[in-house]
Structure 1
């Protein structure tokens, strides 16, 4: 029915003609309408199949009632649910949101810590680096470990200064604020570490004083080499830090020299820790219970033997000055001694009568 070269207007007219033919001839096409005979025949077959195979009137009524009833019932909303179910759903969504927020915070914190390891004074992440150091110090509970960790932080500040000097070879081209921040933090950590280790060293922990002195000597050398490479203001501030390190070394040496004295400290504490005593060194007395060396005996002398008490056989005598062959003469030693003089009396002999037992002989 549709051929080539048909205009839209002609196609529209054909559709209207077919629609009127279907409405005018519900059965079959008329004889004079041969152009739409095939199409009208198909329409007639479809209408006949709908009548014979479709649902009956009763089924159509049930279907219609069901559709209308479903349309009349409004859908369930959140307000129609029980309160307990609504609360449970809200709590579940809140828990999921909190878990997602915590995961996001932890991931961001972990990334910040990784990126802040190489941060220098003046960088945006330098504060995160210092916060992580404070957190690690708070998780350290041993006083000795805290002192060494403070010295470790102070050494890190010197390393940061060396990195800044390498990054900015010109003294006036570097960040002055970064230099001053590193030096200030160095002084704070070095003084705190000195207070802890000198307090331990004054209580007979000489190893802590030795470590503190070695650390101060090595970092005095590092600061001396850096001082000439810093800007003018930072170089003057580095002189203050160098003076602090030298005083720490002197304090450790003074306390170590008085370890054998009766009084090690004066009882006062300053920025660096306990202050050494200024009076003369009075050596500590020997502790009781210490072993002393035995005095050697002269050749040919008799060894000292503790006397032993033995019961002689009846009838034997022990006179003063008499010795048995092969025995050593006991020397006078502190403590009570037992000496037997005169003849020993024999013990009396007791004779028991025999008793006859029943069934046995006498």
Structure 2
């Protein structure tokens, strides 16, 4: 995870959204991260409503406690209470402390709430639903957990790789869908959508930074994914075969886009202006370059 994963501002906003979702006072200010954090709030509410039976490993409990204690020490949670007690014992009134001290303490506490809720959601729920398939009771929880992972990832490269991982997961699910044309097509639709979003993020970063590292991740994905998708062509249903070929065509387009961007970076072209569902659309290198 990125170093700014649990940044103060995102954690404070997450705590506000949780409070609002549970009937608390609404905050008029909106944040750019609200849409991303909404997925994590949804997971938290499902946790409260459904509470799947999950055994949390002792090692995880120990690690989480250590992380919370370290965060508390770093952010100074509890320092305000100690200061007030010391002031009172020396004969000064606690009311001399600025009112903002209490708000800061609560805000720092909200950071811990965000850290704990995110960690528990991504551990307990993932363990309970990671093997859920379309139609299973926990499948919706599985997809919500994936969206929460995306919300907690602030790097475009990491988010792009996550999308490609989800596309691989959708492929595994598609292989289990038998005799259900609509269900099979829906899973492949989700797989292709994850592929496009992941590729777009990685190609955009590669073009902006003139760094082909993200393209290497795309190449590896296309190689493995194409071979696995081709295995779906052995189905007897011609409708499912046709739908599978559309996903193969998308992977071919992704491969060509990565090759084109790699060539453009190699010959020193600036980042492409034109863009589509797969990200920047490179132009051919001039002759002689």
Residue deviations 1:255-291 (CA, integer Å, cap 9, x gap) = 11222323254410001000011351565xxxxxxxx
Q: Which residue of 1 aligns with 2:280?
A: 274
Q: Distance in 1 between matches of 2:189 and 2:286?
A: 37
Cα 1:215–1:115 change in 2 (3 A) is same
Q: Which residue of 2 aligns with 1:235?
A: 241
Q: Distance in 1 between matches of 2:170 and 2:182?
A: 14
> Offset of 1:116 from its aligned partner?
2.6
Q: Does 1:201 align with 2:206?
A: yes
Q: Distance in 1 between matches of 2:216 and 2:273?
A: 21
Q: Structure 1 residue aligned with 2:160, among 117, 132, 147?
A: 147
Cα 1:269–1:186 change in 2 (3 A) is same
Cα 1:194–1:105 change in 2 (3 A) is closer
Q: Structure 2 residue aligned with 1:218, among 207, 221, 224?
A: 224
Q: Which residue of 2 aligns with 1:258?
A: 264
Higher helix share: 2
TM-score when scaled to structure 1?
Answer: 0.44
Q: Distance in 2 between matches of 1:193 and 1:255?
A: 15
Q: Distance in 1 between matches of 2:147 and 2:276?
A: 23
Cα 1:119–1:105 change in 2 (3 A) is closer
Q: Structure 1 residue aligned with 2:187, among 161, 170, 182?
A: 182
Unmatched 5+ stretches in structure 2: 1-43, 55-124
SS state at 2:281 partner: strand
> Offset of 1:109 from its aligned partner?
3.4
> Offset of 1:218 from its aligned partner?
1.6
User: Root-mean-square deviation (CA), in Å?
Assistant: 2.5
Residue deviations 1:161-217 (CA, integer Å, cap 9, x gap) = 2233xxx5xxxxx22232112101101100000001111111222111112112112
1:45-124 map, 5 Å: 106=48, 108-111=50-53, 113=125, 114-124=127-137
> Offset of 1:111 from its aligned partner?
3.6
Q: Which residue of 2 aligns with 1:325?
A: none
Unmatched 5+ stretches in structure 1: 1-101, 169-173, 284-362
SS state at 2:266 partner: coil
> Offset of 1:228 from its aligned partner?
2.1
SS state at 1:141 partner: coil
Decide whether the 8 Å contact of 2:267 with 2:285 is kept in 1. no
Cα 1:254–1:230 change in 2 (3 A) is farther
Q: Does 1:137 align with 2:137?
A: no
Decide whether the 8 Å contact of 1:151 with 1:193 is kept in 2. yes
TM-score when scaled to structure 2?
Answer: 0.55
